[in-house]
Amino acid sequence: MKQRFRVGEVAKLFQLSTSTLRYYDEIGLFQPKYIDTDTRYRYYTIEQFVVLDTIIFLKKNGFSMKDIRQQLEHRTPENTKGLLERKLGEVEEEMERLKKVSEKIKNKISTIEEGLSLSATPSLVYRRFPERAISYLYNDTPIDLMKEADALYLKDLEDLSSAGVDYDGFFTGDFGTVAEIDSLNKEGAVKYRAVFELLHQEKEGLKTSYLDPGTYACYPHHGPYETIKSSYSFVLKRLQEDGYRMTGAPLEIAMLDESVTQDKTAFVTWIQIPVGEKD
């Protein structure tokens, strides 16, 4: 049986590149055991293969070169067990992180799908919502967001940074507003008394508030935010016709926004007005 193997032969057997084996050789991790005194050719021996198998296993399972070198130089059952246990802890932690990432991505896909559906078939519906967790970015006197949005956004970034709260970025479906009822019936822009982030998952360090559960009259405004008053006029008229009364301030949820489209005419803002039947 063949006992000695050139670098190309080992690379082929173990499905590695020759450059990888040469790199292992250069850093002293895995070097040919035999050098032909006449030809100066370097050969690996078959008894070295178990070491290369160990390197390949550890490398493909996420161990660092430092971990691999430590394992080769200090192999004992106890050390090996400790090395594997540490990696298992890291893997399980990463699995938990990826699970959260998966849930976030699924949530965004669902938001976009719902936004597209609302855009394709815009209609007024009465829908019951459960209690929804939010964190207020602003909750004070009514403001014109067309003028104040940038300053508000900057202040929120500064507050999060100074509070040491992890910043994950905002994406479509994250933002909502609470409209001032009186501004709907006056000339000029709609004003807002609150801006909030919908908390699809708990965020450590953020104070959590809740939107009231109940029935909401829901209508998708299609187009730029500046034209949303026309949609309010339609909804408020329909409420009268359908025998409903407004029981609280209207909400707006940005379903399709700058995060997913450059075309402002494709924006979808979901108006949600808490309602009850007229007495």
Q: 147 Cβ partners below 8 Å, 6+ apart? A: none
CA 144: distance to chain centroid?
Answer: 30
* Other beta carbons within 10 Å of 120: 10
Beta strands in the chain (DSSP E): 4-5, 34-35, 42-45, 125-129, 132-143, 175-179, 192-198, 209-211, 214-222, 244-246, 251-256, 268-277
pLDDT in tens, 85-128: 999 999 999 999 999 999 999 999 999 999 999 999 999 999 99
Q: Which domains are assigned to the chain?
A: 4-75 (1.10.1660.10), 110-277 (3.20.80.10)
Bridge partners (DSSP) of residue 269 are: 221, 254
pLDDT in tens, 28-86: 999 999 988 788 889 999 999 999 999 999 999 999 999 999 999 999 999 999 999 99
Instruction: Give the tokens for residue 183.
Output: 């501004």
Give the DSSP letter string of 230-257. Answer: HHHHHHHHHHHHHTEEE-S--EEEEEE-
Q: Are 220 and 138 in contact (CB under 8 A)?
A: no
pLDDT grade, residue 145 (50/70/90)?
confident
Return the ∠ at Cα 77 (arms to 71 and 78), rounded to 5°: 90
pLDDT score, position 218: 97
Residue type, 95: M
pTM for the whole structure: 0.80
